[in-house]
Amino acid sequence: MGKVFKDKPISEITLRKFERPIDENNEELIRKFCISLGLLQPGDSRDVIVDILKILINAKKERHILTSKQIEEEIKKVRTGGVAPSNIRRQLLRLERANIIEKRNGYRIREFLDLSEILEDIKKFVIEPTFDRIKEYAELIDKM
């Protein structure tokens, strides 16, 4: 039997806090949203995830479900340089793992919900249980 890693986390989350948003363009707001959730690193120039999320947010308004091919075609309209389909699929998977989008015969913002509602779910089902577990470690340490 192979070695079992006890220090492997069950889940991970990265959160970053910026100053309050001001009247910025949509792309900059989405970029900071992605950076805040750890989906993008500050200063990262590889920001196709921003384009993907923007496309899916716009599709949500009409309740459209998009295939990865349709998303790729939309990205080609807004980007001068090409983007590899494998990179688009990788970024879609990251958004899916972050519980922001879901795959249902294509991709959509989860249940066509507002992002603020999705964040409440993430807070309730990911952040709070993670914080509670960290608190369990702290309580055991306090007893030492």
What are the residue ranges spanned by the domains of the chain? Answer: 26-112, 114-144
Considering the segment(s) 26-112 as one domain, its CATH architecture is Orthogonal Bundle (1.10)
Q: What is the number of other CB atoms lying within 10 angstroms of the CB of residue 130?
A: 15
Which pTM was predicted? 0.86
Average pLDDT (68-93) is: 90
Distances (CA, A) of 124 to 51, 118, 129: 27, 10, 7
User: What pLDDT is attached to residue 25?
Assistant: 84
Asked if 108 and 102 touch (Cβ cutoff 8 Å), the reply is: yes
pLDDT of residue 3: 62
> What are the tens digits of pLDDT across the range 99-116?
999 999 999 999 999 999
| pLDDT tens sequence across 18-65 | 998 887 788 889 999 999 999 999 888 778 999 999 999 999 999 999
Give CA–CA dist 97/92, Å, rounded: 9
- Asked if 40 and 80 touch (Cβ cutoff 8 Å), the reply is no
Tell me the pLDDT band of 2, cut-offs 50, 70 and 90.
low
